[in-house]
Amino acid sequence: MSAPLLSLRHLTVDYATDRGTARAVDSVSLDVASGETVALVGESGSGKTTLALSLLGLLPEPPARVAPESRIEYQGANLAGGDNASWRRVRGREMGMVFQDPSLSLNPVLTVGSQVAEVVRTHSKCTRREATTRAAELLAMVGVDSPALRARQYAHQLSGGLRQRAMIAIALAGEPKLLIADEPTAALDVTVQAQIVELLAELRRRLGMAVLLVTHDFGLVAQMADRVVVMYAGQVAEMAPAPVVFSGAAHPYTQGLLLAARGGAGSAERRLAAIPGAPPAATAWPSACRFHPRCARAWNHCRAEAPQLERVSEGHDARCWLVSEPAGETGGRPS
Amino acid sequence: MTAGAATAALVAFAARLWTAPRARLGLLLVALLVLAAAAAPWLAPYDPSAQLDLATLQLAPPSTAHPLGTDLFSRDVLSRLLHGARISLSIAVLAVLVAVTVGTAVGLAAGYGGPVLDAVLMRVVDSGLAIPRVFLLLMVLALWERSTSLTLILVLGLTSWFPTSRLARAEALSVRRRDYVVAARALGLPSWRILLRHVLPNIAPALLVSAALGVGQIVLVEAGLSFLGVGVQPPTASWGNMIADGQTHLLAAPWLAAAPGLALVLTVIAFSVLADGLQDALNPRSS
CATH code for position B125 = 1.10.3720.10
For A39-75, write each residue's pLDDT tens digit.
898 887 788 888 888 888 888 777 888 888 888 888 8
**The pLDDT of residue A1 is above 60:** no
- The whole-model pTM stands at 0.77
A97: nearest CB among B178, B186, B201:
B186
Enumerate residues 6+ apart whose C-beta is below 8 A from B72: B58, B59, B245, B249
Instruction: Give percent above pLDDT 90 in chain B.
Output: 13
Q: For residues A176 and A93, is the Cβ–Cβ distance under 8 A?
A: yes
- Does the structure show a pLDDT above 50 at A284? yes
- Residue B103 domain-assigned (yes or no): yes
Give percent of chain B with pLDDT exceeding 70: 93
Whether B178 contacts chain A with CB within 8 A: yes
Task: Name the pLDDT band for B119 (thresholds 50, 70, 90).
Answer: very high
Question: Between A and B, how many residue pairs show a Cβ–Cβ distance under 8 A?
Answer: 72
Distance (Å, whole) CA A49 – CA A59 = 10
Cβ of B206 under 8 Å from any chain A Cβ?
Answer: no
Q: Is B185 domain-assigned?
A: yes
pLDDT tops 70 at residue A330 = no
Other Cβ atoms less than 10 A from the Cβ of B116: the count is 8
- Cβ atoms of A75 and A5 within 8 Å: the answer is yes
* CATH classification (class only), A6-94+176-332: alpha beta
Residue B193 lies in a domain: yes
Q: Is the pLDDT of residue A334 over 50?
A: no
Q: Which comes out higher in pLDDT, residue A286 or B145?
A: A286
Query: Are the beta carbons of B34 and B85 closer than 8 angstroms?
Result: no
Tens-place pLDDT, residues A132-175:
888 888 888 777 888 888 888 887 888 888 888 888 888 888 88
According to the model, what pLDDT value does residue B1 have?
Answer: 45
Q: Which domain holds residue B136?
A: 29-41+71-286
What are the boundaries of each domain within chain A?
6-94+176-332
pLDDT at B124: 92
Q: Is residue A116 within 8 angstroms of chain B, CB to CB? A: no
- Chain B residue at shortest CA distance from A176: B187
B188 touches chain A (CB under 8 A): yes
B21-50: average pLDDT: 83
- The answer on pLDDT for B96 being more than 90 is yes
* ipTM higher than threshold 0.85: no
Is the pLDDT at B98 greater than 90? The verdict is: yes
Residue of A105, A157, A182 to mutate, interface with B, max B Cβ within 10 Å: A105
Predicted pLDDT of residue A189: 79
Report yes or no on B4 lying in a domain.
no
Domain count, chain B: 1
pLDDT value at A272 more than 60: no
β-bridge pairing A64-66 and A6-17: antiparallel
pLDDT of res. B101? 94
Query: What's the whole-number mean pLDDT along residues B16-38?
Result: 84
Lowest mean pLDDT among A9-18, B86-95, B136-145, B278-287: B278-287
- Smallest CA-to-CA distance from B209 within B22, B31, B28 is with B22
Within 8 A by CB and 6+ apart from A46, the residues are A231, A232, A233, A234, A279
Q: Measured between CB atoms, does B123 come within 8 Å of chain A?
A: no
Query: Which stretch of DSSP H or E encloses residue A119?
Result: helix A112-123
Whether B54 is covered by a domain: the verdict is: no
pLDDT exceeds 50 at position B204: yes
pLDDT of residue B99: 94
- Chain B contact set for A97 (CB, 8 A): 183, 186-187
User: Which chain A residue's Cα is nearest to B175?
Assistant: A107
Q: What is the widest separation between alpha-carbon atoms in chain A?
A: 73
For residue A33, what is the DSSP state? -
Residue B62 lies in a domain: no
pLDDT value for B286 = 44
